[in-house]
């Protein structure tokens, strides 16, 4: 620290966009913390600064959560929390604090974020954070855009992050506590809609993972680890060997996202034996992405039948399977994709379906450039961009009413009382059964059916809303403005002017400007 000013650093990990706790939130929000804000907290302390770390789960009072005279505030946010993050940043900037945005929103919408933060970070590693701390000044009206050349080559492990993890897990209302760990960054697959498709696959240090797992066994009787790897198990044998060595008594339980292609029966048995109790394979579409589901060129019903067999095989060994789908992709047309998904659910009664609406998050993925060129991206406020509350890409083969009608029909099929009962019956273990029932009858299942049904009714009756959906106007409908105001509560007054809107084609404009400059 010699010669360096000791800074008061605030770190805010926003996991929810609404300052109101719900029952689900009290159980789960503390389990949804990100790893990067914890890593930044460790790096700031290593640099000798005073750190106040807050994982925002909706129960904290952000007006008083940080000490007075903070020098700098780092905020990590997904796009759905952007408006809350902008309001918090504004509140602190008015007090003279320098603010920094990192995380997915900063990577997807950097130019927009520059309007509301002093620093906006792309890829972030320790040298980059050290540079920000050394500068620690106001950059207004346009924040400074900074990025490392790639993802960090290493990250602080659980042992180093423990005090931040422990404080965050203490906020969960039950003993169901998930420790966030990561063993790899990026993905070797190239799903064109995915932010990780353009990040080189890179395993992290397996020695750190082994040490972290052994450390966790001293903290919990039966620890639960949620792997944050975008695609767990690319280096399957290395990974599993480390887990098996670290936990010979098989006390640990694990949750991971993995593509079906990496889950042969032999591997699934090994996962189950190592303590994996939940896996989240991405099926995405019945027409594309054959490589990641190991269905090759098979399409439509043929692919569905193969995937259903595959998922049933996994469920014979692992109790909880969440099947991820993206609805409204350009390859979808007519009733078939929805009907195939229904048949898939009938054939795999134990699997929990998770539906994402096809969305284009700024410059997250290569496909977004093409969608912006085609003028198909809508200017929904960020607050609704969470793959569920809004679909910001105009579907290629559906009118909006047709799309919503088919989506509602599929969801009613997925979360009918009969389907919930069959799912509970086909699932082993009371925690997986309980999770499936709660998710189906809460805001995720029945809640979204109601939300989409309201939306369909509005599309038929609210002319300004329909005009916005049809790209006839950019004016954000009052319906959405009112919802943001209601959701932000006291933070609405701190939302900067203009922060409800953004340039939805900023990525295209940037690429075009770069091309002109290069001529």
Q: Compute the least distance from the CB of residue 413 to ligand SF4, in Å.
A: 25
Separation CA 227–CA 243 (nearest Å): 12
Least gap, CB of 199 to ligand SF4 (angstroms):
9
Cα–Cα distance between 302 and 295 in angstroms, integer?
A: 9
3-state class of 476 per DSSP?
coil
Q: Enter the tokens of residue 113.
A: 């974020």
Write the interaction track for ligand SF4 spanning residues 455-484; mark x where CB under 6 A is met and - where it is not: ------------------------------
Q: Which residues pair with 73 in a beta bridge?
A: 10, 99
Q: In the chain, how long is the greatest CA-to-CA distance? A: 68
Is 277 a binding residue for ligand SF4 by CB under 6 A? The answer is no
Smallest distance from the beta carbon of 184 to ligand SF4, in angstroms?
A: 10
Minimum distance of ligand SF4 from residue 195's CB (angstroms): 7
> In this complex, which beta carbon is closest to ligand SF4, that of residue 258 or of residue 389?
258
Q: Site residues for ligand SF4, window 228-247 (CB under 6 A)?
A: 230-231
Which one, 143 or 230, has the nearer CB to ligand SF4?
Answer: 230
Residues across the chain: 519
CA-closest candidate to residue 386, choices 416, 411, 414, 354: 354
Residue 196 Cβ vs ligand SF4, minimum distance, rounded to whole Å? 4
Nearest distance in Å: CB 361, ligand SF4: 13
For the purposes of burial, counting CB atoms within 10 Å of the CB of 344, is it exposed (0-12), middle (13-18) or buried (19 or more)?
A: buried
Contact range with ligand SF4 by CB under 6 A, out of 79-87, 183-191, 432-440, 453-461: 183-191
Minimal distance, residue 191 CB to ligand SF4, in Å: 3
Nearer to ligand SF4, 76 or 230 (CB): 230
From residue 492, give the alpha-carbon distance in Å to each of 88, 105, 231, 486. 10, 19, 37, 8
Nearest-approach distance from CB 204 to ligand SF4, in angstroms: 16
Residue 191 as a binder of ligand SF4 (CB under 6 A): the answer is: yes
Is residue 189 within the footprint of ligand SF4 (CB under 6 A)?
A: yes
Asked if 258 is part of the footprint of ligand SF4 (rule: CB under 6 A), the reply reads no
**With respect to ligand SF4, which residue has the nearer C-beta, 87 or 256?**
256
Residue 256: phi and psi, rounded to 5, are -150, 150
Is residue 187 within the footprint of ligand SF4 (CB under 6 A)?
yes
Enumerate the H helices of 218-287 as residue ranges.
236-246, 265-274
Q: Which is nearer to ligand SF4, 230 or 328 (CB)?
A: 230
| Residue 282 is a binding residue for ligand SF4 (CB under 6 A) | yes
CB closer to ligand SF4 out of 136 and 314: 314
367 near ligand SF4, rule: CB under 6 A = no
Pull the structure tokens for residue 167: 């404080």
> Which residues, at least 6 apart from 169, have a Cβ–Cβ distance to it below 8 Å?
30, 31, 177, 178, 179
> CB of residue 194 vs ligand SF4: minimum separation in angstroms?
3
Which residues, 285 to 304, sit near ligand SF4 by CB under 6 A?
292
Q: Which two tokens stand for residue 236?
A: 């399957």
Least distance CB 282 / ligand SF4 (angstroms): 5
Judged by CB under 6 A, the residue of 57, 168, 259, 293 near ligand SF4 is 259
- Residue 385: CB minimum distance to ligand SF4, A: 17
d(C-alpha 108, C-alpha 113), whole Å? 9
In order, the DSSP letters of 114-172 are HTT-SEEESS--HHHHHHHHHH-----SSPEEE--SSS-S----HHHHHHHHHHHHTTS
Peptide bond just before 141 cis, omega within 30 deg: yes
Q: Is 279 in the site for ligand SF4 (CB under 6 A)?
A: no
Stretch that binds ligand SF4, among 18-26, 187-195, 273-281, 300-308 (CB under 6 A): 187-195
Q: How far is the CB of 157 from ligand SF4 (least distance, A)?
A: 22
- Rounded Cα distance between 305 and 295, Å, is 10
Phi-psi region of 136 (alpha: psi -120 to 50; beta: other; left: phi over 0): left
38 phi, psi to nearest 5 deg:
-65, -40
Find the distance separating the first CA and the last CA of the chain, reported in whole Å.
Answer: 47
Q: Among residues 231 and 389, whose Cβ is nearest to ligand SF4?
A: 231
Question: Residue 81, interface with ligand SF4 (CB under 6 A)?
Answer: no
Judged by CB under 6 A, the residue of 13, 112, 196, 363 near ligand SF4 is: 196
Phi, psi for 227 (deg, rounded to 5): -80, 125
- Which of 194, 252, 256, 274 is close enough to bind ligand SF4 by CB under 6 A? 194
How many residues bind ligand SF4 (CB under 6 A)? The answer is 11
In this complex, which beta carbon is closest to ligand SF4, that of residue 27 or of residue 198?
A: 198
Angle at 301 between CA 295 and CA 305, to 5 degrees: 60
Give me the residues that bind ligand SF4 (CB under 6 A), please.
187, 189, 191, 194, 196-197, 230-231, 259, 282, 292
């Amino acid at each position: 620290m010699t010669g360096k000013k000791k800074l008061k650093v605030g770190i805010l990990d926003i996991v929810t966009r609404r300052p109101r706790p719900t029952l689900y939130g009290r159980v789960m929000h503390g389990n949804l913390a990100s790893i990067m804000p914890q890593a930044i907290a460790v790096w700031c302390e290593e640099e000798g600064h005073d750190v106040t770390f807050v994982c925002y789960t909706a129960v904290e009072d952000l007006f008083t959560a940080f000490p007075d005279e903070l020098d700098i505030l780092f905020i990590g946010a997904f796009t759905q929390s952007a408006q809350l993050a902008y309001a918090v940043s504004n509140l602190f900037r008015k007090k003279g604090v320098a603010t920094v945005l990192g995380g997915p929103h900063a990577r997807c919408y950097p130019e927009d974020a520059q309007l509301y933060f002093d620093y906006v970070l792309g890829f972030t590693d320790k040298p980059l954070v050290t540079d920000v701390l050394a500068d620690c000044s106001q950059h207004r009206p346009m924040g400074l855009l900074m990025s490392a050349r790639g993802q960090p080559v290493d990250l602080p492990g659980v042992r180093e992050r423990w005090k931040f993890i422990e404080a965050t897990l203490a906020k969960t209302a039950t003993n169901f506590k998930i420790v966030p760990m990561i063993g790899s960054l990026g993905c070797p697959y190239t799903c064109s809609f995915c932010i990780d498709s353009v990040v080189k696959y890179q395993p992290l240090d397996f020695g750190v993972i082994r040490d972290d797992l052994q450390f966790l066994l001293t903290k919990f009787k039966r620890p639960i680890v949620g792997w944050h790897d975008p695609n767990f198990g690319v280096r399957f044998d290395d990974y599993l060997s480390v887990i098996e060595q670290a936990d010979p008594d098989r006390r640990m339980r694990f949750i991971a996202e993995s593509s079906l292609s990496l889950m042969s029966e032999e591997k699934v048995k090994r996962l189950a034996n190592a303590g994996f109790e939940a896996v989240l394979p991405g099926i995405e579409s019945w027409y594309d992405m054959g490589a990641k589901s190991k269905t090759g060129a098979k399409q439509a019903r043929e692919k569905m039948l193969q995937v259903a067999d595959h998922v049933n095989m996994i469920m014979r060994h692992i109790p909880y399977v969440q099947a991820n789908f993206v609805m409204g992709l350009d390859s979808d047309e007519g009733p078939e994709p929805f009907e195939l998904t229904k048949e898939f659910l009938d054939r795999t009664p134990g699997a929990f379906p998770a539906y994402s609406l096809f969305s284009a998050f700024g410059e997250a993925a290569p496909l977004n450039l093409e969608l912006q060129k085609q003028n198909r991206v809508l200017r929904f406020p960020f607050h609704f961009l969470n793959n569920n509350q809004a679909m910001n890409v105009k579907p290629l083969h559906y009118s909006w009413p047709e799309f919503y009608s088919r989506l509602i029909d599929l969801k009613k099929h997925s979360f009918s009382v009969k389907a919930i009962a069959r799912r509970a019956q086909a699932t082993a273990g009371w925690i997986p059964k309980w999770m499936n029932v709660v998710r189906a009858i809460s805001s995720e299942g029945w809640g979204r059916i109601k939300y989409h049904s309201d939306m369909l009714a509005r599309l038929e009756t609210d002319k300004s809303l329909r005009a916005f959906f049809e790209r006839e106007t950019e004016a954000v409908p009052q319906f959405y403005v009112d919802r943001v105001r209601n959701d932000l509560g006291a933070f609405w007054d701190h939302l900067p002017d203009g922060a409800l809107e953004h340039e939805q084609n900023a990525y295209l404009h940037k690429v075009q400007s770069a091309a002109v400059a290069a001529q």
